[in-house]
Amino acid sequence: MKPSEQALRRPFPEALAQRLEARFGMRLSRAESIRAHHGHDESHFPDAAPDAVVFVHSTDEVAEVVRACGEFDVPLIPFGVGSSLEGHILATRGGVCIDCSEMNKVLDIRAEDMLVVVQAGVTRKQLNAELHGTGLFFPIDPGADASLGGMAATRASGTNAVRYGTMRENVLGLTAVMADGRVIRTGGRARKSSAGYDLTRLLVGSEGTLGVITELTVRLHPLPEATSAAVCAFPDVVSAVNTVIQTIQLGVPVARIELVNELGVRAINRFSKTTLREAPMLFFEFHGSPAGVDEQAHTVQELASEHGGLDFEWADRPEDRSRLWAARHDAYFASLNLRPNSRAITTDVCVPISTLAECVSATQDDIEASGLIAPIVGHVGDGNFHAIILVDPADTDEVERAGALNRRIVERALAVGGTCTGEHGIGIGKQGFLVQEHGEAVDFMRAIKLALDPHNLLNPGKVVPGL
């Protein structure tokens, strides 16, 4: 916890605790273990427990909690499953954690409109399980089995974004509780609208600082008639990335195109008991009609072979595909496993595709020079890649070197017109980068924050610096 944050932490008002306890009974918890669980995420930042946790069941309950906290001038932090990588849910100033995990109902599957209305605590895997039999799926897949509310709040994406977009493109509308306790509904069920300011897109990516998302209407996509998946090893990352660049530039509608570097593949093999060739590797998935999938695969195979791709191993059976993608999704945990008791500082730059080979390659050199262990994985079809820097959180020198490495990677991305974060968000660690990236625009973000949350109670200390 930064000392300045520590100083902002005030004693929790007993009267508020009593009020919430009277209203929520056992669903209000001040137990040490519960608080500790809610003050911990997947980031490397120190834990910071809230003073209390409320397990809410409805939008109205969230509104009640928000109004009560407002009365006592107490911060509140929305919580999904706690898989944030940027400290979003850390209660650095204390306050009440609003745990949405029991708001996990799929409210309305509208298959004919290819959309679904869900409560914020529904997770992506749960949603896809409940969509079984509809012929539709929800494509957005961050590494963790995150809640949809959390995914909207961080503008998450994942491996399918190159074809299906991110939460930005797939959230049609939201129900949110605003700082004054009022409930608003943004967007709607139409695929497009020009009706007023885009509050949906403003709340998506606002990391709980502008409103508490309680329900979402999201787009669904037809399950592809045919799917095929493959991996291909390359002599070096530059050849792999150049294959990606050409695939995107040719407009091949590839569903997934993911890079894992040599160290990343080694981590995956060890963790997921796979036997992938330990070389820079692309993971592909193609969606479409049988003929369309064949055509895409053929085009990409040709490009890969022009760039020295060594082999193309197909995973045609659904169970092989699932195993392959499960292994890819577990790359983060596989990486952590390379070094017991480490935590990860995960970089998240996203760059224009033409600069991707140069950025990934220079990042590998930087990692080499730093002496740190940091596998690289990436949603390279979008220009987004992660170095998962493994650190011993107790080793301040190492943490500092990791910070310097991260800074170098971000500064290179910004220099080519990229962003410091493609999908993880700003949280508490990237506020300086936000200013580097957006300059005076951040002042207008601050003005919006203060207009919508004048007392700075919604997840304070996140996103906008200086609040």
The separation between CA 398 and the C-alpha centre of its own chain, rounded to angstroms, equals 25
Cβ nearer to a second copy, comparing 249 with 322: 249
Q: Which is nearer to a second copy, 36 or 291 (CB)?
A: 291
Q: How far is the CB of 268 from a second copy (least distance, A)?
A: 24
Does position 373 bind a second copy by CB under 8 A?
no
For the bound state, the minimum distance from the C-beta of residue 365 to a second copy, rounded and expressed in Å, comes to: 21
Q: How far apart are CA 183 and CA 178, in angstroms?
A: 6
As measured in angstroms, the least distance from the Cβ of 403 to a second copy is: 18
Residues comprising the chain, all counted: 467
Cα distances from 275 to residues 125, 270, 375, in angstroms, run 26, 9, 17
**String of contacts with a second copy for each residue 102-121, x by CB under 8 A:** --------x-xxxx------
Tell me which of 63, 74, 156, 240 binds a second copy, using CB under 8 A: 156
DSSP 281-302: EEEEEEEESHHHHHHHHHHHHH
- 384 contributes a contact to a second copy by CB under 8 A: yes
Q: How far is the CB of 446 from a second copy (least distance, A)?
A: 9
Site for a second copy in 13-52 (CB under 8 A): none
Q: Give the interface size with a second copy as a residue count (CB under 8 A).
A: 92
| Cα distance between residue 35 and residue 48, in whole Å | 9
Residue 242: CB minimum distance to a second copy, A: 11
- Pick between residue 54 and residue 118 the one whose CB is nearest to a second copy: 118
Query: Of the candidates 52, 97, 344, 452, which one interacts with a second copy according to CB under 8 A?
Result: 452
Does position 245 interact with a second copy (CB under 8 A)? The reply is: yes
Does 183 bind a second copy (CB under 8 A)? Our answer is yes
Instruction: Return the structure tokens found at 273.
Output: 């008991």
* Nearer to a second copy among residue 95 and residue 224 (C-beta): 224
Q: Which stretch binds a second copy (CB under 8 A): 25-33, 246-254, 317-325, 388-396?
A: 246-254
> Of 46, 318, 352, 432, which one interacts with a second copy (CB under 8 A)?
352
Per-residue HEC secondary structure of 392-415 comes to CCCCHHHHHHHHHHHHHHHHHHHH
Identified binder of a second copy from the candidate list 59, 83, 101, 154, rule CB under 8 A: 154
Would you tell me the crossing angle of helices 59-72 and 14-24 to the nearest 10 degrees?
A: 160
State which residue, 100 or 356, has the beta carbon closest to a second copy: 356
DSSP run (H or E) holding 18: helix 14-24
Q: Which is nearer to a second copy, 249 or 396 (CB)?
A: 249
Shortest Å distance, C-beta 409 to a second copy: 14
The full DSSP string for 118-138 is EETT-BHHHHHHHTTTTTEE-
Closest by CA to 462, choosing from 65, 6, 93, is 93
463 is a site residue for a second copy (CB under 8 A): yes
Binding to a second copy, residues 162-181 (CB under 8 A) = 165-166, 168-169, 178
Q: Is 358 in the site for a second copy (CB under 8 A)?
A: no
**Contact indicator for 59, 214 with CB cutoff of 8 Å:** yes
Instruction: Tell me which H or E stretch contains 329.
Output: helix 318-329
- 248 interacts with a second copy by CB under 8 A: yes
Closest distance of CB 109 from a second copy, Å: 12
Is 221 a binding residue for a second copy by CB under 8 A? The answer is yes
Scanning residues 292 to 311, which ones bind a second copy (CB under 8 A)? Answer: 292, 295
Q: For residues 187-216, which are near a second copy according to CB under 8 A? A: 188-199, 201-202, 204-206, 210
Determine the interface stretch with a second copy among 93-101, 118-126, 218-226, 320-328 (rule: CB under 8 A).
218-226
SS (H, E, C) 40-86: CCCCCCCCCCCCEEEECCCHHHHHHHHHHHHHHCCCEEEECCCCCCC
CB of 272 to a second copy, least distance (A): 27
53 φ/ψ angles, rounded to the nearest 5 degrees: -125, 130
Q: Which is nearer to a second copy, 82 or 418 (CB)?
A: 418
| Using rule CB under 8 A, residue 291 touches a second copy | yes
**192, burial (CB in 10 Å: exposed 0-12, middle 13-18, buried 19+):** exposed
Give the type of residue at 447.
A
Q: Are 349 and 385 in contact (CB under 8 A)?
A: yes
Instruction: Tell me if 236 sits within 8 A of 358, measured CB to CB.
Output: no
Structure token pair of residue 126: 């749960």
Q: What share of the chain is helix, strand, coil (3-state, %, to 5)?
A: 40, 20, 40
Q: Which residue in 109, 457, 458, 464 binds a second copy (CB under 8 A)?
A: 464
Would you count residue 63 as binding a second copy (CB under 8 A)? no
Which of 285, 366, 382, 398 is in the footprint of a second copy by CB under 8 A?
Answer: 382
424-443 binders of a second copy (CB under 8 A): 424-426, 430, 433-434, 437-443
